Amino acid sequence: MEPKLSHKIYLKELGKLIPIVWLEKVQYIHSWLLLKWLLFCNSKPLLSNQKSAMIFSPHQDDETFGCGGMIAYKREHGIPVVVVFITDGKGSRSLDLDCQNQIVQTRKQEAISALGILGVESSHIHFLSKPDGCLPELSNEEHQQTIREISELIQHYQPEEIYVPHRKDCHRDHEATYNLVKTVIREANIPVEVFQYPVWLFWRAPLFILLKIQDIAAAYRFSITSVQDKKKRAIASYSSQIENLPRGFIKQFLNSHEIFFKSEL
């Protein structure tokens, strides 16, 4: 049975009971335990290969948090990697237009710098610039346009692997990105391997409450030991964003492995 409360309502109610500092500690312990369990008990090794990849990232930084090691490893071995950013990353709509535009430009430059460290050429970085925080609310026309843009990119590059946020990643833009890419692959019947990567999943989705065992089945671990430093430096490139994120949240991405979930679309 699905939970009656959305993850936002759940966290809001939990926040009334637990001070924010303690809540972050609880979230860190929860994510740490889940990662250790997956790494040592419930995942298969994902072997390195020569398959080209396309990464779909809702915002500028999700690709590095979730797939930075994989990206760097593939690029070090001369394997093509394309990164597609779905939203403009401007954040709060309460800011004035000039501030929003400045944020968009800052995050775009941070993304180019981070991906440069990981080895991705600027010609293989695409910005679709959809409104941040509003992917599930796109008009029908904008939704269809986004579907066409994603389809054209996949058809043009013909990647052998596609990486998308987890379908229950506890962020509306992340889950919408998964659904958009899933729609394209299904409608066009594209033969490609699909992997889901977690960003907010372990931090915001309590196991047995919002997160079910079946949600994290088919888990794979990929060793990024040889490129850990590159991933760490790429994360640091997002200086305008990491200063506002919990330290424990960032720490969970500095491990020697990345976790992916194979998806049957």
pLDDT along the chain (265 residues), means of 10: 45 56 89 95 95 98 98 98 96 77 95 98 98 95 98 98 97 98 95 97 90 92 98 97 93 97 85
Give the start-to-end residue ranges of the domains of the chain.
Answer: 7-262
Q: Which of 87, 80, 91 is nearest to 53 (CA)?
A: 80
Q: What is the pLDDT of residue 4?
A: 38
d(CA 228, CA 72): 9
Using alpha carbons, list the distances in angstroms from residue 244 to 28, 71, 238, 250: 16, 25, 11, 10
Q: Residue 151: what pLDDT? A: 98
- Report yes or no: 175 and 168 within 8 Å, Cβ to Cβ: yes
Question: Sign of torsion, CA 86 88 91 95?
Answer: negative
What is the residue whose two structure tokens read 């066009």?
Answer: 188
Q: Which of 216, 143, 217, 124 is nearest to 184 (CA)?
A: 143
Q: What is the pLDDT of residue 1?
A: 32
| Alpha-carbon gap, residue 174 to 133, rounded angstroms | 9
Residue 139, amino acid: S
Among 168, 165, 101, 169, CA closest to 132: 101
- Which single residue is written with the structure tokens 């596609």? 162
Report the distance separating Cα 246 and Cα 263, nearest Å: 29
Cα 70 to Cα 51: distance, rounded to the nearest angstrom: 11
Query: Model's pTM, two decimal places?
Result: 0.91
Amino acid 50 reads: Q
Superfamily designation of domain 7-262:
LmbE-like (3.40.50.10320)
Displacement of CA 23 from its chain's centroid (Å): 22
